[in-house]
Amino acid sequence: MLDYFLLKKTGFGIEIHVFNSSSACDCLLSAILLLIILIYTFNAANVSAGDIASLIYLWNPWAIVTCVGSCTSPIENLMVVIMIYGACSRLAPLAAFGYVMATHLSLYPAILIVPVILLLGYGPDAPPTKVFLVKSSSDSKSGMSEYDKRSSLKVQRFSWMTVLHFIFWLFIWSCYVLLLSSMILKKVGGLSEMFEKTYGFILTVKDLSPNIGVLWYFFAEVFDFFRTFFLIVFNMNILFMVLPLAIRLKHRPCFLAFVYTAIVAMLKSYPSAGDSALYLGLLGLFANELAEMQFTFLLFFGYIGVSLLSPVMHNLWIWRGTGNANFYFATGLAYTCLQTVLVVESVGSMIKHDRKLRLLVTS
């Protein structure tokens, strides 16, 4: 199956006679995403989710648009997927490399340190701890052997050595990347100039060019006196969601990574279509758990409507001059609302699924 997708993507690049860096990274990202799917489905005994996830990513129009536009989103997504794959397979050096490169290219993947540590410590997604406790207590009453009891309790044990190994490689890769950056940028300002032009540019939202998000419109209308206050509010808004979601979804680190990625795509300063292509691909991993999710019809056609209307409104406003900023901002606002509904409904459906699982075990 892995060879099939690699040959398919390679054949697509040969047919269009253009095999640039973005399409190459997207091809490699698809292959690594498929490996994550295989690991997840092997642990969860879930066969159909892998096919759905691979199809969602490979045939996602936004993923195709990012390749056609030759933007750097596939490279950023590749680093994120490498990080998740390394954490799922408990390859600490690979996970650390993906994390360092992802945070080097963009600031927001830094919050993925929480699901990465949970994946390295506990492994891929598993039922809640209460389910294991109830199962072990019921098995002890039914006369389970001591060896089986010890093996069932191993599921709950956190592997600190793997996490420490990850932290060690995280330090090594960080020093290596910073050293190379300082050598390359020595004549143009050094690391301080790099941080100011990258992380500082992201946090201060200096460029108010229209994009698919909503922050450009908000900061174009807000008074300069309140700009610093709202910068702090919007930047801290992402951090406020990290701890509560980690506490509630610590037994499902892969799903937690999907939720964090969707929140980042919704609240980041300069979102792009490639951000949605990434979290929608990860969403396919949980097709069975989220089978009873509500508002799927609204979300599906809402995404299609936004994808069609957004370039039309942008063309009417920027190029033809027959519209105004509110036309394009309305599509960005609708896009943000759709992402909010997707995150809320997916988290609620996963919690309901775990609750039903616990009821099945207790019964």
Per-residue pLDDT of the chain (363 residues; tens, 9 = 90+): 333 343 233 333 323 333 344 555 655 666 565 566 555 555 544 445 666 777 777 788 888 888 777 788 888 888 898 898 888 888 889 999 999 999 998 889 999 999 999 988 887 766 566 555 555 555 554 444 444 444 444 445 778 888 999 999 999 999 999 998 888 888 777 788 888 888 888 888 888 888 888 888 888 888 888 888 888 888 888 888 899 999 888 888 889 999 999 999 988 888 888 888 889 888 888 887 888 888 888 888 999 999 888 888 888 888 887 777 888 888 889 999 999 999 999 999 988 888 888 777 776
- Tokens encoding 303: 């995404």
Structural contact between residues 155 and 139, judged by C-beta atoms closer than 8 angstroms:
no
What confidence score (pLDDT) does residue 251 get?
A: 85
Structural contact between residues 338 and 299, judged by C-beta atoms closer than 8 angstroms:
yes
Distance CA 299, CA 285 (A): 18
What confidence score (pLDDT) does residue 15 get?
A: 33
Taken in order 103, 105, 109, 115, the sign of the CA dihedral is: negative
What confidence score (pLDDT) does residue 106 get?
A: 87
What confidence score (pLDDT) does residue 201 get?
A: 87
Among 64, 83, 69, 56, residue whose Cα is nearest residue 26: 64
What confidence score (pLDDT) does residue 17 get?
A: 37
Sequence-distant (≥ 6) Cβ neighbours of residue 174 within 8 angstroms: 100
H and E: helices and strands count for the chain: 19, 0
**What distance, in Å, lies between the first and last C-alpha atoms of the chain?**
38
Q: Which amino acid, residue 269?
A: S
What confidence score (pLDDT) does residue 50 get?
A: 60
What confidence score (pLDDT) does residue 166 get?
A: 93
Distance CA 102, CA 174 (A): 11
Among 26, 48, 28, 27, residue whose Cα is nearest residue 37: 48
Sequence-distant (≥ 6) Cβ neighbours of residue 337 within 8 angstroms: none
Residue 217: count other Cβ atoms within 10 Å of its Cβ.
Answer: 19
Among 130, 138, 133, 124, residue whose Cα is nearest residue 85: 124
